[in-house]
Amino acid sequence: MSDVLRIERQGPIEIWTITRPKALNALNAAVIDALTEAAIAADADADLRAIVLTGEGKAFVAGADIAAMQSLTPAEAGAFAAKGQAMGERFERLGVPVIAAVNGFALGGGCELAMSCDIVIAGARAKFGQPEVNLGVIPGFGGTQRLARRVGATKALDLCLTGRFVGAEEAVSMGLAARRVEGDVVEEALAIARTIAAKGPVAVSYAKRAIHENADADLSTGLAAERNLFALCFATSDQSEGMTAFLEKRAAEFTGA
């Protein structure tokens, strides 16, 4: 059991909670390693259907650990960025969706971590931002790239060059977050996770893969990838069960096979 990441199981769903509340859950090497190891284990878990990621206390993740970065050499900084980027890429490649339950600050590395998740749910007090320019650096865990892909270059430039924060409502309006909730953001994320967990697991995995792997592809390439994954669904028992259940007007019993 990691002392920086708590993992709880609820049936086919896991809740991952970063547990550095005194540091506002700032990302250091230990947290990045713990999240990466959890993702590796999740990929090997055939019964897992969804993950909810959150932070303990009043922050999701308030950024990378500045004290740990202050004295890095350029080479060390590059290695640290590579570690953070590899973590984000691993989240995107996971066969199950990851839902970020943003309960407070998601700044710098925290915003980057949220954007590596598949669905971002913003609590009423959530704050997002890429304020690295205030420290004389730029985002290093994928912020310049994922933010531009999510909200467009114009809005990404606004956030990355000014370092300003945006609240939950603006985050949703610009496409940074999917939903804003007034109540318990983790409970809302869990409700979404349960909805996803009831769907065909292979289909969920393929849909996620089709979107992530072809986000930057031209339309013809993306359509070809979608077509191939659609066809592969028909090699699964879940496809047969799902369509049979629909025609029989009953709930499908998916197995992930």
229 and 128 within one domain? no
User: Does residue 89 carry a catalytic annotation?
Assistant: no
Predicted confidence at residue 65, as pLDDT, reads: 82
**At residue 69, does pLDDT exceed 90?**
no
Question: For residues 170 and 104, what is the distance between their CA atoms, to the nearest angstrom?
Answer: 14
Instruction: For residue 15, tell me if it sits in a domain.
Output: yes
118 and 25 within one domain? yes
144 and 23 within one domain? yes
192 and 113 within one domain? yes
Tell me the pTM. 0.94
210 and 83 within one domain? no
208 and 193 within one domain? no
Residue 231, domain CATH: 1.10.12.10
- Domain hosting 209: range is 201-247
160 and 48 within one domain? yes
**At residue 227, does pLDDT exceed 70?**
yes
User: Does residue 188 carry a catalytic annotation?
Assistant: no
Q: How far is CA 44 from each of CA 8, 49, 94, 128, rounded to the nearest angstrom?
A: 17, 12, 10, 32
Predicted confidence at residue 1, as pLDDT, reads: 59
56 and 133 within one domain? yes
Phi and psi (nearest 5°) for 198?
Answer: -85, -5
Instruction: For residue 151, tell me if it sits in a domain.
Output: yes
Query: Of 181, 197, 213, which one is at a domain's C-terminal end?
Result: 197
Predicted confidence at residue 95, as pLDDT, reads: 94
219 and 103 within one domain? no
Tens of pLDDT along 78-136?
999 999 999 999 999 999 999 999 999 999 999 999 999 999 999 999 999 999 999 99
148 and 24 within one domain? yes
Residue 62, domain CATH: 3.90.226.10
Instruction: For residue 89, tell me if it sits in a domain.
Output: yes
257 pLDDT band, cuts 50/70/90, is confident
Phi and psi (nearest 5°) for 120?
Answer: -115, 120
Predicted confidence at residue 63, as pLDDT, reads: 85
66 pLDDT band, cuts 50/70/90, is confident
Catalytic residue among 132, 188, 213, 253: 132
122 and 21 within one domain? yes
Tens of pLDDT along 13-38?
999 999 999 999 999 999 999 999 99
Query: What is the domain count for the chain?
Result: 2
Catalytic residue among 14, 56, 112, 188: 112
Tens of pLDDT along 187-198?
999 999 999 999
